[in-house]
Structure 1
Amino acid sequence: MLAVLCADDRPPLMAAVEAAAEVRYADAAGLPAALRGADCLLVWDFLSRAVEPAFAAADRLGWLHIASTGVDNVLFPAMRQSDVLLTNSSGIFDGAIAEYVLGCVLAFAKDFRTTLTAQREKRWYHRETERIAGRRAVVVGTGPIGRAIARLLAAAGLQVTGVGRTARVADPDFVAVQASSDLHKCLGEADFVVAVAPLTDATAGMFDKAAFGAMKPTARFINVGRGGLVVTDDLVEALQGKVIAGAALDVFEIEPLPVRHPLWSLPNVLISPHMSGDFVGWLPALAELFVDNFGKWQAGMPLRNVVDKQLGYVPAR
């Protein structure tokens, strides 16, 4: 039996699953009842935190799949300590997020915001803009999304260094990979800093006052990872004080971003509502991955995207 945590928008392409198993669709309030007797749980509403308070009702659960790459909303202590297998949707969003990051780099370098403002004002405003070829980018997070970002930025002419758990000189996607313990040194060399690390105990709040202070005053910060990677008040202070030159933010500690938050009104900030990976067709792609994994689960085959619950992400092969 399968329980599905969703709101009004049920996942598509579930006919094959519904033909093979009993499926209970539930919102947050109904999840405890849906979990009783369930062997599997699909967390389609991946922003929900309803799994933790309902987890005690999971008397038969063997597998949980979440329709996102990040797993921090379902990796609470009881889940981490349990025997429940956890899988995520790694691989779906890599290319789309890489394109979003390249778009942000170009938007900053080519000053599109000023161009659009001048166009609205019907003002002919000639000026010079920046080249991105030869500039340096640091991508913090060397998983599949970070690697897709590195490949696309490198194709556009940037020199891309990665920051991960372990330093490596030879790497197929990065000029080099530096250890996270050397983060601040790496930040000082970057024109663009891209945060795409998973949110774990080790990465929470890693972009704080000290990290922003280590960056160049001309650097731009791009966060497509998790809002919790950033100490938001420190970021606001760094932007207001021109410690860094700008930020493109797709994720936030609190979502939606409150309407009175100072980030909305800062002239050097680009804000998008947690949508960097949401391309046309992303929902069917998420459903297809789950349906494929469900078939493997029924057949007793190894599943795709098994998360190491101690690390908090799918380990590199």
Structure 2
Amino acid sequence: MPFPGGHPGAHEGHADGGRDRALHDARPHGARQRRARGLPRRIRSDLPRVHAGLTPDPEAPGRRREGRGGPIRPRALPCADPLSGRPSGRAAEADHAPRLGPDAVGSRPPPVRRLLLGLFHATEAWRVPEEEVDLLRRDFPDVEVTRTHSKEELEEKVRETEILFSWAPGNALVARGTRLRWIHAPAAGVGTFITPAVRERGIVLTNSRGVHAVPIAEHTMGMLVALARQLDRAIQDQIQNRLDRERWWVGSGRPQELHGRTLGLFGYGAIGREIARRALAFGMRVIAVRRNPLSAPAWEPDLLRALGLPAEEPRIEGVLGPSELGSMLGESDAVVVAAALTPETEGIFDAAAFRQMRRGAWFVNVARGKIVRERDLAAALREGQVGGAALDVFETEPLPRESELYNVRNVILTPHISGGSTGFWPRAMRLFRENLRRDGAGLPLLNRVDLERGY
């Protein structure tokens, strides 16, 4: 038996490039394949395990080498490359030879990019985790990463940095950073980032559009379910230590369904897209209003990959333009605001807009508070024109204690938390790392903000 890993000599069938006819020629249809010759069945059945080094050679004690009289000692046949010490059949690993320094080859080291992290906050949820900072340093050895823990430290370090990843820095800080060329915002809304210094110097601004899409979409659907099933009333009954079952079977107290109803989206970006996907799963019909209804939103595959979002577009029924807002409001059983705050959208949901809504429809705002005139909404709720509302954002935040929204029936209020989740930082940092990679490679950055349009 040839020694595994060896090179047996050619037999007569291989001489002069010949072929072994018994092994290689075609067989007549239905003919059985010939058994391999030269080895007993017991040896053949054990060969795979012998070559894998998993079992001793079962016939070793009784076999003798050809032309020699000494018995072969029973032991496992070697299956490793004796030169490399690695298992046979595997590619050799790359040799980790020390690299020559720049002086040895006459070249200069790559330039160092300076990154400043201003992601400190009094609340743990909004402080970048230490492990994410460690990943930045590990993945980008050409980047000098500086993390700050206070406003004073940020003001001191900004002078030398060229990349700033921070909460809204303010115009004074941007003006102080004379070497700044790129600012990345950890949120989608960047109104406070577009300062005079940013405009004058043409500093590149990118945002985290899409990072909040999943939690906000889930929050939105939760609010719609709560409105349809009147869960706010159930919670009130629980607080009062009583459950009035009969109330649930009479008139307006009867729960409703989302299935078969129409959802109207005001804004169809990353957040609207994920809301639509979930609403369709509930069996809802979805229509949307967006600024450019004729051009489908262009989603970079790298952006979707970084955010962990599906590439497939939700199959909504139609996309309308801003001039058709009234038509969307009249068709919808639920209206969700998911648009950016711009001069065109500020205050667009006023008394006139609420009058165009289908009577008794639900209203949800997870975008920006100033898109809605709260006093007009409260009046529409009291009159029954709007059947219920869920608000996560407000004209003034935090919502003042004297706000009449606290005392309006069928309203669910949350303190601007729809975008928060334990998945925020991993998703936000994946997006930033992708942009940091692109910056080093000289590629266009994802989510670059148009400073004129504001998003």
TM-score (norm 2): 0.63
CA contact 1:24–1:34 (8 Å) conserved in 2: no
2: CA distance between counterparts of 1:173 and 1:312? 28
1: CA distance between counterparts of 2:200 and 2:284? 42
Bigger drift between 193-202 and 84-93 goes to: 84-93
Matched, 1:311 2:453: yes
Equivalences for residues 262-301 of structure 1 within 5 A = 262-301=404-443
Q: Provide closer, same or farther for how the CA distance between residues 161 and 271 of structure 1 changes in structure 2, counting only shifts above 3 A.
A: same
Please state how far the C-alpha of 1:281 moved relative to its aligned partner. Answer: 2.6
**Aligned letter for 1:67?**
P
1: CA distance between counterparts of 2:194 and 2:354? 28
Matched, 1:23 2:146: yes
Determine the structure 1 residue equivalent to 2:121: 7
Please state how far the C-alpha of 1:290 moved relative to its aligned partner. Answer: 2.1
3-state SS of 2:279 partner: helix
Please state how far the C-alpha of 1:228 moved relative to its aligned partner. Answer: 1.8
Please state how far the C-alpha of 1:39 moved relative to its aligned partner. Answer: 0.3
2: CA distance between counterparts of 1:265 and 1:30? 44
| Residue 72 of structure 1, aligned match among 186, 191, 200 | 191
CA contact 1:4–1:25 (8 Å) conserved in 2: yes
Equivalences for residues 47-126 of structure 1 within 5 A = 48=168, 50-119=169-238, 120-125=241-246, 126=248
Aligned length: 309
Which runs of no fewer than 5 residues in structure 1 stay unpaired? none
Please state how far the C-alpha of 1:77 moved relative to its aligned partner. Answer: 4.4
1: CA distance between counterparts of 2:409 and 2:389? 10
**Aligned letter for 2:234?**
T
2: CA distance between counterparts of 1:7 and 1:112? 34
CA contact 1:168–1:176 (8 Å) conserved in 2: no
1:92-126 deviation line (CA, Å, top 9, x unaligned): 22122111111111111111122233343233334
Q: Provide closer, same or farther for how the CA distance between residues 77 and 198 of structure 1 changes in structure 2, counting only shifts above 3 A.
A: farther
**Aligned letter for 2:382?**
Q
Determine the structure 2 residue equivalent to 1:224: 366
2: CA distance between counterparts of 1:256 and 1:182? 33
1: CA distance between counterparts of 2:199 and 2:379? 35
3-state SS of 1:104 partner: helix
Bigger drift between 109-118 and 222-231 goes to: 109-118
Matched, 1:41 2:154: no
**Aligned letter for 2:182?**
W
Determine the structure 1 residue equivalent to 2:266: 140
Determine the structure 1 residue equivalent to 2:323: 181
Please state how far the C-alpha of 1:184 moved relative to its aligned partner. Answer: 2.0
Q: Provide closer, same or farther for how the CA distance between residues 166 and 298 of structure 1 changes in structure 2, counting only shifts above 3 A.
A: closer
3-state SS of 1:21 partner: strand
CA contact 2:234–2:243 (8 Å) conserved in 1: no
1: CA distance between counterparts of 2:399 and 2:175? 31
3-state SS of 1:235 partner: helix
Bigger drift between 282-291 and 27-36 goes to: 27-36
Please state how far the C-alpha of 1:223 moved relative to its aligned partner. Answer: 0.5
**Aligned letter for 1:259?**
R
Q: Which has the larger radius of gyration?
A: 2
Please state how far the C-alpha of 1:81 moved relative to its aligned partner. Answer: 4.7
Bigger drift between 165-174 and 264-273 goes to: 165-174
Determine the structure 1 residue equivalent to 2:63: none
Share of identical aligned residues, percent?
A: 36
Q: Provide closer, same or farther for how the CA distance between residues 131 and 22 of structure 1 changes in structure 2, counting only shifts above 3 A.
A: closer
Q: Provide closer, same or farther for how the CA distance between residues 32 and 234 of structure 1 changes in structure 2, counting only shifts above 3 A.
A: farther
1:152-174 deviation line (CA, Å, top 9, x unaligned): 11121111111011234998532
CA contact 2:366–2:418 (8 Å) conserved in 1: yes
Matched, 1:154 2:319: no
Bigger drift between 178-187 and 69-78 goes to: 69-78
TM-score (norm 1): 0.88
CA contact 1:33–1:57 (8 Å) conserved in 2: no
Please state how far the C-alpha of 1:231 moved relative to its aligned partner. Answer: 1.9
Q: Provide closer, same or farther for how the CA distance between residues 122 and 237 of structure 1 changes in structure 2, counting only shifts above 3 A.
A: closer
CA contact 1:32–1:55 (8 Å) conserved in 2: no
| C-alpha RMSD of the superposition | 2.4
1: CA distance between counterparts of 2:375 and 2:335? 18
2: CA distance between counterparts of 1:2 and 1:94? 26
